[in-house]
Structure 1
Amino acid sequence: MDNFKDKIEGQMDQYDSEEKDQILENFNRFKQVLGDKVEKGEKLGLSEEQLAKGAELVANHLAKHEEPRNREQYLLQQLWEVGDKDEQHHLAHMLVKLVQKD
């Protein structure tokens, strides 16, 4: 799992500040980027559980390092902060499902 975590964090760090700003400013753009990553994971044969763990790592990273830039992100951050580990994991599953349907 640590290798998977390192890969996710490495990808998060690869975005330059302008590209990160463009992704985070617009919730639809954020969903599109997350959806692209989920689709790539599915093509690599990752299970829904693995995809959710990846989404969980991204959410933890964003909660620690980024301020919400729109109402949707603010709501997600608030839900993330009040949730326990199990609830955060369920929310990660829901985010994966959200971008899979788009």
Structure 2
Amino acid sequence: MSEHNHVVKKDGELDMNKVDDAMNKMDQGEKDQILANFDTFKSYLHKRIKLAESIGLGEEQLAKGAEKVANYLAEHEDPRNSEEKLLQELWKVGSEEERHKLAHMLVKLAQNESSHH
């Protein structure tokens, strides 16, 4: 089974509380590697979204997951490049509704990412 088992409830819903747990358990070296380069970060998101889609998560659930990840990164990680810095700045000034829309846009960005870099 996939590594995301623990994040997805039995009914196929995303367990939002488990997203933070999964991020916390990730090795700092692995996080650094993913966040070091924006293309690598997009590619990582692309793979995770493909995995989530393959188990039947819809766009709204993907966006909610993206919101959780963005909140986690804003609170726990420093941006490693100018793109991540911009995203963090937008996240900080955005209302809840604006953050949700930005999360949808991040999902779209990652969906359009080809993993052939």
Q: Provide the TM-score with structure 1 as the length reference.
A: 0.94
* Structure 2 residue matching 1:92: 3-state secondary structure: helix
Question: For the residues of structure 2 that align with 1:94 and 1:45, how far apart are their CA atoms?
Answer: 19
Alignment partner, residue 16 of structure 2? 5
Alignment partner, residue 99 of structure 1? 110
Alignment partner, residue 91 of structure 2? 80
Write out per-residue CA displacement over residues 40-76 of structure 1, whole angstroms, 9 at most, x where no aligned residue. Answer: 1100100100000000000000000011110000000
Gaps of 5+ in 2: 1-8
Which one-letter code corresponds to 2:74 in the other structure? A
Question: For the residues of structure 2 that align with 1:45 and 1:7, how far apart are their CA atoms?
Answer: 18
Identity of aligned residues (%): 54
**After the TM superposition, which segments of 4 or more aligned residues of structure 1 sit over 2 Å from their partners?**
none
Question: For the residues of structure 2 that align with 1:81 and 1:10, how far apart are their CA atoms?
Answer: 22
How many residue pairs get matched?
101
Query: Which of 35, 38, 46 is the equivalent residue of 2:46?
Result: 35
Instruction: Name the structure with the higher helix share.
Output: 1
Question: For the residues of structure 2 that align with 1:37 and 1:83, how far apart are their CA atoms?
Answer: 25
**Over aligned residues, Cα RMSD in angstroms?**
1.4
Q: Which has the larger radius of gyration?
A: 2
Question: For the residues of structure 1 that align with 2:43 and 2:18, how far apart are their CA atoms?
Answer: 20
Question: For the residues of structure 2 that align with 1:27 and 1:101, how far apart are their CA atoms?
Answer: 14
Which one-letter code corresponds to 2:33 in the other structure? Q
Gaps of 5+ in 1: none
